[in-house]
């Protein structure tokens, strides 16, 4: 039942419940799967074979699997290419000292803003607290 081209249901792991296809049989316990899961080695005990079978060659590429799954109208796992950005450059000497000072100033500004926000919140809370005290004082007098 475990053969190349067999559509299976993944039972365990992060991709559990998704459909996959056996691309290659590695040994008596492991197979290579692809489809609506990450292309990877998988234990056959974590797969539930279905009655469906697709004709693909051994070690078929992800593109081949994608074409076959689109014919069956089954979704396929897509990965996004990594965006390559510039590597951060190491700052040395005088430039490093200037950069550290700038970072300290930014931290101080953030603390000031946070302090102002907390002060505003406390001011808003004070009138409500005063009213509660007045009510309690009236109740104690009576």
Q: Long-range contacts made by residues 87-91, C-beta under 8 angstroms, separation at least 24? A: none
What is the pLDDT at residue 82?
Answer: 74
Name residue 53's beta-bridge partners: 6
**Whether pLDDT at 40 is above 70:** yes
**Whether pLDDT at 9 is above 70:** yes
Q: Write down the domain spans for the chain.
A: 6-71, 92-142
Averaged pLDDT for residues 3-21: 92
User: For the chain, what is the radius of gyration of the CA atoms?
Assistant: 31
Closest CA relative to residue 53, chosen from 67, 39, 72 = 72
Q: Which CATH number fits domain 6-71: 2.30.30.30, 3.40.640.10, 3.40.50.720, 3.10.450.50?
A: 2.30.30.30
What is the pLDDT at residue 4?
Answer: 93
For residues 30 and 84, the model is more confident at 30
**Whether pLDDT at 24 is above 90:** yes
**Whether pLDDT at 131 is above 80:** no
Averaged pLDDT for residues 114-119: 80
What is the pLDDT at residue 91?
Answer: 72
What is the pLDDT at residue 129?
Answer: 59
What is the pLDDT at residue 128?
Answer: 59
Percent of residues in the chain assigned helix, strand, coil, to nearest 5: 45, 20, 35
Q: In residues, how long is the chain?
A: 142
What is the pLDDT at residue 96?
Answer: 77
Q: What is the residue-averaged pLDDT of the chain?
A: 83
Measured CA to CA, the distance from residue 59 to residue 62 in angstroms comes to: 9
């Amino acid at each position: 039942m475990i053969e190349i081209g067999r559509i299976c249901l993944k039972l365990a792991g992060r991709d559990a419940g998704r459909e996959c296809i056996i691309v290659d049989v590695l040994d008596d316990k492991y197979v290579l799967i692809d489809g609506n899961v990450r292309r990877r080695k998988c234990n056959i005990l974590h797969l539930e074979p279905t009655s469906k079978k697709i004709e693909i060659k051994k070690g078929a590429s992800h593109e081949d699997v994608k074409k076959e799954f689109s014919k069956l109208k089954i979704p396929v796992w897509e990965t996004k290419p990594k965006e390559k950005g510039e590597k951060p450059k190491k700052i040395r000497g005088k430039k490093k000292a200037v950069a550290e000072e700038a970072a300290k100033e930014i931290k101080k500004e953030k603390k000031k803003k946070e302090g102002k926000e907390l002060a505003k919140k406390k001011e808003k809370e004070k009138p409500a607290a005063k009213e509660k005290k007045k009510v309690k004082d009236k109740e104690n007098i009576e």
